[in-house]
Amino acid sequence: MSSSQSGVKPTTVVDSRGTMCPGPITDLFRAYRNASIGDIIELQATDPAAKSDTEAWARRSGNEIIAVIDEKDYLRIQVRIIKKGR
Amino acid sequence: MSSKAGEKRNKLVIICSKGSLDMAYPPLMLATTGAAMGMDVDLYFTFWGMNMISKKTIDSLKISPVGNPALPMPNILGMLPGMTSMTTSMMQGKMKKIKMPSIREMIKTAKDSGVRFHACSPTMDMMGLKREDLIPEVDDIIGAATYLELASEDAITLFI
């Protein structure tokens, strides 16, 4: 996680701020379905479960979290899409 | 049959048996998340769970304060007329505040994510429901044998 301080420029930004579980994962999944291999999706979330849930999602779906940036009142979680399911 | 060591189960089958507002959310939240994680998800609606997929009741699920020790109301008061609708609108207000989607929206999201919806045939008979009384998201009408077959494919199964 070399770029964990500021992150990289994402392909898509998903703003899930204000939604609670399962909002962030549902929004991320929507973006993931439209994404291509190599894309970087940035999930923005205020849900305190978002980090742990996105990590679980990434492990399960075979994708990679490249940065988690704490913006004080929300998180920016950057996911590199390296595997596409359905 | 259990999973092979180190292999994770990739199938989720939930029996939805309750028709109250508070009990309608957990299966839909898990189902949508499961589908987002790449799992095969089946929801089997039975008994009062049919209220979640019946056109007549989907938008009017309620929560009762009676027999619910988690709510700050003695049963004797909860029995008074209007208490169920009061408790329901209190819960809906709280849900709106945290931007919780409605049951109808949750079902739409689940369906879009690939979750399959099954209605229980004996319950339909018992409640006098026909296929056209159910929301179009319902895939099919199945019985216990089909459920057991779904569940036996090394699935995580929950009864809610």
Residue A52 lies in a domain: yes
Query: Distance (Å) from the C-alpha of residue B152 to the closest C-alpha of chain A?
Result: 22
Residue A16 lies in a domain: yes
Q: Which of A32, A53, A86 is facing B114, going by the closest CB pair? A: A86
CATH number at residue A29: 3.30.110.40
**Is residue B5 very low, low, confident or very high in pLDDT (cuts 50, 70, 90)?**
low
pLDDT band at A14 (very low <50, low <70, confident <90, very high): very high
Q: Known catalytic residue: A21?
A: yes
The predicted structure's pLDDT at residue A21: 85
Mutation target among B29, B97, B102, B111 for the A interface, most CBs of A within 10 A: B29
- Asked whether residue A85 is assigned to any structural domain, the reply reads no
> Which of A14, A26, A61 to mutate to probe the B interface, most B CBs <10 Å?
A26
pLDDT (mean) for B26-45: 94
Determine the pLDDT at residue A1: 46
Does residue B22 have a pLDDT over 90?
no
pLDDT of residue B79: 80
Domain that holds residue A16: 12-80
State mean pLDDT over A63-81. 95
Mean pLDDT for A13-26 is: 92
Give CA–CA dist B31/B14, Å, rounded: 8
Question: What is the Cα–Cα distance from A5 to A67, expressed in whole angstroms?
Answer: 8
A40 touches chain B (CB under 8 A): no
* Band of pLDDT at residue A4, cut at 50, 70 and 90: low
For residue A26, the one-letter residue type is: T
Q: Is residue A2 part of a domain?
A: no
Strands annotated E in A10-63: 12-15, 40-45
Question: Does some domain include residue A86?
Answer: no
Six token digits for residue A44: 């923005």
Q: Annotated catalytic residue: which of A7, A17, A21, A61?
A: A21
Structural domains of chain B, ranges and CATH numbers in brackets: 11-64+105-159 (3.40.1260.10)
Residue A10 has what pLDDT? 94
Q: Measure the CA–CA gap between B41 and B34, rounded to whole angstroms.
A: 7
pLDDT, residue A2, reads 45
A16-41 burial, b at 16+ Cβ within 10 Å, e below that, comes to bbebbbbbbbbbbbebbeebeeebbb
Q: Report the gap between the CA of B97 and the closest CA in chain A (Å).
A: 10
Tell me, what's the pLDDT at A3?
47
Domain count along chain A: 1
CB neighbourhood size of B85 (10 A):
13
Per DSSP, the three-state class of B116 is strand
Nearest by CB to A61, which of B29, B38, B99? Answer: B38
Does residue A5 belong to any structural domain of this protein? Answer: no
Residue in B73, B75, B80, B71 with CA at minimum distance from that of residue B21: B71
B15/A contact by beta carbon, under 8 A: no
Report if residue A62 sits inside a domain: yes
Q: In this predicted structure, what is the pLDDT of residue A36?
A: 95
- Closest-CA distance, B139 to chain A, in angstroms, reads 19
pLDDT at site B1: 45
Question: Distance between CA A49 and CA B127 in Å, rounded?
Answer: 39
Query: Do the domain assignments include residue A29?
Result: yes
Q: Averaged over A20-43, what is the pLDDT?
A: 94
The residue-averaged pLDDT of A8-35 equals: 93
